[in-house]
Structure 1
Amino acid sequence: MPAGTVYAANSYEQDAIRVKPIGRGTSIIFLTAAVLFAALSVFLYSNELHIELQEASPFDENWTAIIDGEAEAVNEIPGQIDTPAGEPLIIEKNLPESFTREQAVMFRSSLQYASVYLDDRLIHQSLDETASGLRLPPASHWFIVDIPADASGQTLRLELTSPYEDMSGRINHAYAGDRAGLQAQLFHDYMVDLLFALIIIGTGFAMLGSYVFLRSIRPYEMLYLGMMVLTSGFWFLAESRMIQFFTGNQFLIGGLAYVALAFIPIPLLMYVKHVILTDERKWLNAVTAFLFSWFVFIIVLQLSGIADFFETLTVTFLLSFISYTLVIGLMIFESLKYRNQDAKRFLAGIGLLLFFALIEVLSFLLYDPVFTSDILRIGFGLFLLLMAANALTSLIKRLKTLQESAIYEQLAYTDPLTQGYNRMAFERDVQSLLSDSESANGHWLLYVDINDMKAINDEYGHKSGDEAIRIIFRLMTDIIGNKGHGYRIGGDEFAAILAIPSEEEIERLIESLISAVKEADKELPYHLSAAVGRAYVHLGETTNLSDLLHEADKNMYAEKLKTKGQKL
């Protein structure tokens, strides 16, 4: 077993942590290169090599709706025709002359099952009601229907059926063209929505990654805020109308937005509890547990067919609103009672988000249940900026405090003369070693004592005495190498903890140390020698820590006496 991995305390670095600022010269070089490249790009612009995608053509004209067996013109698309829930909305049109060649038509359903007919022949059907005996959520989705060549003059009929009153009879834009053009149309219309969602998701992953990377300092603000941001990003992706470029899974397409919306308040409350609040409020655990239960419950209701996600959405909205109101109340209380600056900043952010979320909810309930407004994205973007700035400020302060603590700890465990470990570090590492019986067995404790140290100081001065101490410590640590760690534990006394399995190997190490000191002695004006003692660490089942340390000291002192006076 490598010595450096036996006890955690010895993973500590010898050098103090330093943060080196970026020099002005580096910034100037970077900016100069950027400006030069940008200027050359503009100056040398000649040919237009940009690849342009041909977008599709609108396909909203000349549709008729079949209502009670009568054909009525559809005058407004997008729009909604009064249709009872569970009954199909039927619209149809005669294909124009352009359909003499093969084309495709793209439609979007709003929580509707879709069937497409060409002259009464079924050519497309989308969505399944169940999978493996479990009910799937109806999903708002795009579907592309290939129309064969020479279809001009034939009747294209679309049947859209929704089980929900609010969505039944809804008609969205339709487009015609080749498949590449149809996909280009989607990117043209919804690229901003997709990019926003991907940026939010990436930010969430970055926050969670920073938590994993810095988990030793427990940056809970990054953990819980990252969870909330990531979940929100998935919600924005589900609402971007572009999720089908990533998955064709009906459960994900139809359910991700609902489950994400139900989950978002959970990490929000955990963030408030563990990062913001001054006093621990255990009742928040019960609130969080209830919200998680609801999150699981709506999934069970959906899969069992008792209630779809869409049917439980009002309750999800209500619980989210209560959660956000609760958070705002706690932040106001913290700000007034404890003058909590973190609470004030978070209050500003969550208040801003709640304001825009209310606009979104009102839009959903009163105006358009499939529309995600730019206002909500702006609100969430502002909220994210505020919270990210707050979290980064908190994290930087913590890192600075830890850096200072690490420097102070380094000074506390460092011997100023040898710049190696001191007696405090030795006692720390012995305690750490003996706390794990499996790791302790197979280790040796080595004592080294300089002989006639007083004579060196008296005859050659304390400067030479300090030099002798540094030489012995350096030779000891060089010989030990990666087998363990060396310490100066007194004026002229040294110790080492060694991960060496056999007595023969410890003997060879001592002999190497003896030879190294003898060689160093030849170059010194004074005589340098030392005595060595050693003890094997073995934990018996009935041995407690204090008894073991006493026995180890006694054995090492006995070994030291045996070699005392031996000239190294």
Structure 2
Amino acid sequence: MKIHTDKFGRSMFYILLVVELLFLLLVINSKYQSVSFHNESLIKLNNNWTYKDNEGNTHTITIPSKLDVSKTKAMLISNQLPKDLPTGSILGTLSSHQSIHVYVDNELIYTCDAKDSGFIDLSPGSMWNLIHLPDHAAGKEISLDISTEKSGSIETFSDVYIGTKAALLIHIIQTRGFSLLISFIILFIGINLVLAYFSLRSFLTAHKSILYLGSFSLIVSIWMIMESDMAQFFVDNRYLISSIKYLCLNTLPIPLLLYLSVLVQYRYRKLMLRFSYIFITNAFVMLGLQLSNIANLHEGLIVLHVLIFIIFSIVCYTLCIDVFKYKNKKLYYLTLSFGFLFLFTVFELLFYYFELRTNTGTFMQLGMLVFLLILSRSGLLKTVEIIRLSENASFYKHMANWDYMTKCKNRTAYTREINGISLNHRIAIIMADVNNMKFINDTYGHLSGDEAIILCGQCLLEVFQDQNKCYRIGGDEFLIILIDEDKEEVEFKLEQFNQECKKASEAYPFDIDISIGYAFYDKDIDETIYDTIKRADKNMYDLKAGLKNMSSNNT
């Protein structure tokens, strides 16, 4: 049985990758001795926190926890610091759209106010608060005063950690580093797609799908970096981080829909464009509300999420109809990848609104990574195919304009280009015709006749050098166009041409004898360049007739 080696090898490679991935998952879930840099101690101070309700009653809670608060009254929770607290310890906790004030025995040691954004009421977003504890803080009471500007909200109290700054940073990297890694992978994909588009624009004039996909990847990666809770280690403005995050989130559906509008059937193209206009309008409206301090970008998330769910549902349904009902196999990978993206987006929205976990964005990030990996592979394969077809088209275009036998341009090129010659220059037209072709064909055979034509073309190219000037316009007829050359230069080159023909004849049993006539364009007697060609042709045939008469007289 014949084995198709390419397909077999590719299948075995994919199987190997799956087996290796399963092996790594097995290793991750097995018991092992840690060899990471996270050897410094990190304490979770999550138990035995207390707070007082509006009636003055004391309650004990374990964090992370959610409590009802009002706009006018912040929630104050308290606990006791360990008695063996090392000197130079750091307390770390994550706040999200919150103001936080930290006290040790009623002494304020840290403050981060969500209202410090300036004249625009910006959302503070999420950030890690790394608080230096005083040397005398061991065993004392610590209080976290956490508030929000949102009336009647349910306030979230995140994990509280105590340890060295290095231990806290390593913990943050370990918990959110995977998200940051995915962000940089998508950023790498986006940069390469955009560079590929600008590098290959000459091959991609028909559509801009790679540019739209690359733009989508770049916006997604920036959003994910801002969402990773690690951007503050690179940018120290929490309001800038939050604004970039929500602007990207409002913008990222737009290049995705533009990408789809390029690839889907014509009957769905307007639908995709209209969907993109909806998201553009929503982004402008949210910016207007933010600039006028009516609502911040964070408060518009519910509208954005509803739009994403409804429009993505319609898009997913449309793609499935096109693939399964109309059997459009070209959209198979697009439908598969968009299906993954839509599924993970739905999971993300469910977890976000039902508050099933604290870290948001993970499902959507994974969905976008799978989406981009599938489409990048498909897009790159399509690009390679386009380049291959373009190279074939260039080859056939070349063949359509060049004479394969003589390497001169052919009559098709001559017919197209002769009308484009500017008559403001000094134009000379040379006509050349191989003599005695019937004698050569009858005496030495038609192959020798072809050799005579080839040698004539080679001699013309040798003397006139530029292939763009030389045309084979008939069986044994050639035309040469010279620009801005005077009569002496033309006659000098024609003499060179005759000498080249004599040299070439030495290797053959027949003489390569060429009749030549030329004429310069004269606006006083030539209405068009074709009149010049006729005069050059007449001069050539006059010379040819003279040679025949001379041969007859000698006979």
Asked if structure 1 preserves the Cα contact closer than 8 Å seen for 2:432 and 2:540, the reply is no
1:166 and 1:346 mapped to 2: Cα distance? 44
Aligned to 2:393: 405
3-state SS of paired residue (1:109): strand
Task: Check if 1:111 corresponds to 2:97.
Answer: yes
Asked if structure 2 preserves the Cα contact closer than 8 Å seen for 1:533 and 1:557, the reply is no
1:509-520 mapped onto 2 (5 Å cutoff)? 511-512=492-493, 514-515=495-496, 517-520=498-501
Question: 463, 472, 485: which one pairs with 1:488?
Answer: 472
Aligned to 2:117: 130
Task: Check if 1:361 corresponds to 2:323.
Answer: no
Amino acid aligned to 2:128: W
Aligned length: 501
Asked if structure 2 preserves the Cα contact closer than 8 Å seen for 1:135 and 1:305, the reply is yes
1:142 and 1:94 mapped to 2: Cα distance? 21
2:351 and 2:258 mapped to 1: Cα distance? 29
Question: 416, 420, 433: which one pairs with 1:450?
Answer: 433
1:301 Cα deviation from its structure 2 partner: 1.6
Task: Check if 1:524 corresponds to 2:505.
Answer: yes
Residue 532 to residue 302, structure 1, CA distance change in 2 (3 Å): farther
Asked if structure 2 preserves the Cα contact closer than 8 Å seen for 1:62 and 1:73, the reply is no
1:289 Cα deviation from its structure 2 partner: 1.6
2:343 and 2:255 mapped to 1: Cα distance? 19
Question: 56, 60, 77: which one pairs with 2:45?
Answer: 60
1:173 and 1:274 mapped to 2: Cα distance? 46
1:109 Cα deviation from its structure 2 partner: 0.9
Asked if structure 1 preserves the Cα contact closer than 8 Å seen for 2:68 and 2:153, the reply is no
Aligned to 1:314: 302
Amino acid aligned to 2:432: D
| Residue-by-residue CA offset, 1:128-183 (whole Å, 9 max, x unaligned) | 5434x333222111232334555545655433322236865312223334433332
1:136 and 1:537 mapped to 2: Cα distance? 76
1:191-230 mapped onto 2 (5 Å cutoff)? 191-216=177-202, 217=204, 218-230=206-218
Amino acid aligned to 2:169: Q
CA radius of gyration, larger in? 2
Task: Check if 1:471 corresponds to 2:455.
Answer: yes
Aligned to 2:220: 232
1:554 Cα deviation from its structure 2 partner: 1.7
Asked if structure 2 preserves the Cα contact closer than 8 Å seen for 1:114 and 1:160, the reply is yes
Asked if structure 2 preserves the Cα contact closer than 8 Å seen for 1:479 and 1:509, the reply is no
3-state SS of paired residue (2:344): helix
1:266-285 mapped onto 2 (5 Å cutoff)? 266-279=254-267, 281-285=269-273
Deviates more, 1:198-207 or 1:310-319: 198-207
Unaligned runs of 5+ in 2: 1-5, 10-34, 547-555
Question: 297, 301, 313: which one pairs with 2:285?
Answer: 297
Aligned to 1:142: 128
Higher RCO, Cα 8 Å, sep 6+: 1
| Residue-by-residue CA offset, 1:456-496 (whole Å, 9 max, x unaligned) | 55665544443343334334444555695543232233345
| Residue-by-residue CA offset, 1:95-141 (whole Å, 9 max, x unaligned) | 5456563343332111213334455245443555434x333222111
Amino acid aligned to 2:499: K
Residue 84 to residue 357, structure 1, CA distance change in 2 (3 Å): same
1:273 and 1:365 mapped to 2: Cα distance? 31
Task: Check if 1:77 corresponds to 2:63.
Answer: yes
Residue 511 to residue 169, structure 1, CA distance change in 2 (3 Å): same
Aligned to 1:89: 75
Deviates more, 1:350-359 or 1:114-123: 114-123
Residue 204 to residue 537, structure 1, CA distance change in 2 (3 Å): farther
1:562 Cα deviation from its structure 2 partner: 5.5
Asked if structure 2 preserves the Cα contact closer than 8 Å seen for 1:78 and 1:172, the reply is yes
1:355 Cα deviation from its structure 2 partner: 2.3
Amino acid aligned to 1:522: K
Asked if structure 2 preserves the Cα contact closer than 8 Å seen for 1:353 and 1:380, the reply is yes
1:560 Cα deviation from its structure 2 partner: 5.7
2:98 and 2:87 mapped to 1: Cα distance? 29
2:247 and 2:156 mapped to 1: Cα distance? 24
Aligned to 1:553: 530
Aligned to 2:155: 169
1:515 Cα deviation from its structure 2 partner: 1.9
Amino acid aligned to 1:302: Q
Residue 269 to residue 516, structure 1, CA distance change in 2 (3 Å): same
Amino acid aligned to 2:433: I
Aligned to 1:181: 167
Amino acid aligned to 1:491: G
Asked if structure 2 preserves the Cα contact closer than 8 Å seen for 1:234 and 1:260, the reply is yes
Task: Check if 1:190 corresponds to 2:213.
Answer: no
Q: Percent identity?
A: 25
Residue 286 to residue 560, structure 1, CA distance change in 2 (3 Å): same
Amino acid aligned to 1:524: S
Unaligned runs of 5+ in 1: 1-20, 25-49, 539-547
| Residue-by-residue CA offset, 1:513-546 (whole Å, 9 max, x unaligned) | 64254145234141444536466799xxxxxxxx
3-state SS of paired residue (1:487): strand
Amino acid aligned to 1:387: L
Residue 165 to residue 514, structure 1, CA distance change in 2 (3 Å): farther
CA root-mean-square deviation: 4.0
2:466 and 2:136 mapped to 1: Cα distance? 81
Question: 297, 317, 324: which one pairs with 1:329?
Answer: 317
Asked if structure 1 preserves the Cα contact closer than 8 Å seen for 2:264 and 2:331, the reply is yes
Residue 299 to residue 465, structure 1, CA distance change in 2 (3 Å): same
TM-score (normalizing by structure 1): 0.74
Dislocated runs of 4+, deviation >6 Å:
none
Amino acid aligned to 2:502: D
| Residue-by-residue CA offset, 1:401-426 (whole Å, 9 max, x unaligned) | 44443443333233121244322233
Amino acid aligned to 1:271: Y
| Residue-by-residue CA offset, 1:169-221 (whole Å, 9 max, x unaligned) | 31222333443333222221122111112212222332333332332333433
1:292 Cα deviation from its structure 2 partner: 0.8
2:356 and 2:442 mapped to 1: Cα distance? 94
1:556 and 1:406 mapped to 2: Cα distance? 30
Asked if structure 1 preserves the Cα contact closer than 8 Å seen for 2:431 and 2:536, the reply is no
Residue 318 to residue 561, structure 1, CA distance change in 2 (3 Å): same
1:144 and 1:89 mapped to 2: Cα distance? 20
Residue 376 to residue 183, structure 1, CA distance change in 2 (3 Å): same
Amino acid aligned to 1:285: L
Aligned to 2:17: none
3-state SS of paired residue (1:282): helix
Aligned to 2:334: 346
Amino acid aligned to 1:449: A
Residue 102 to residue 83, structure 1, CA distance change in 2 (3 Å): same
Amino acid aligned to 2:435: D
2:250 and 2:194 mapped to 1: Cα distance? 20
1:206 and 1:381 mapped to 2: Cα distance? 15
Aligned to 1:544: none
Deviates more, 1:103-112 or 1:406-415: 406-415
1:374 Cα deviation from its structure 2 partner: 4.7
1:309 Cα deviation from its structure 2 partner: 1.8
Residue 522 to residue 412, structure 1, CA distance change in 2 (3 Å): closer
Residue 101 to residue 411, structure 1, CA distance change in 2 (3 Å): same
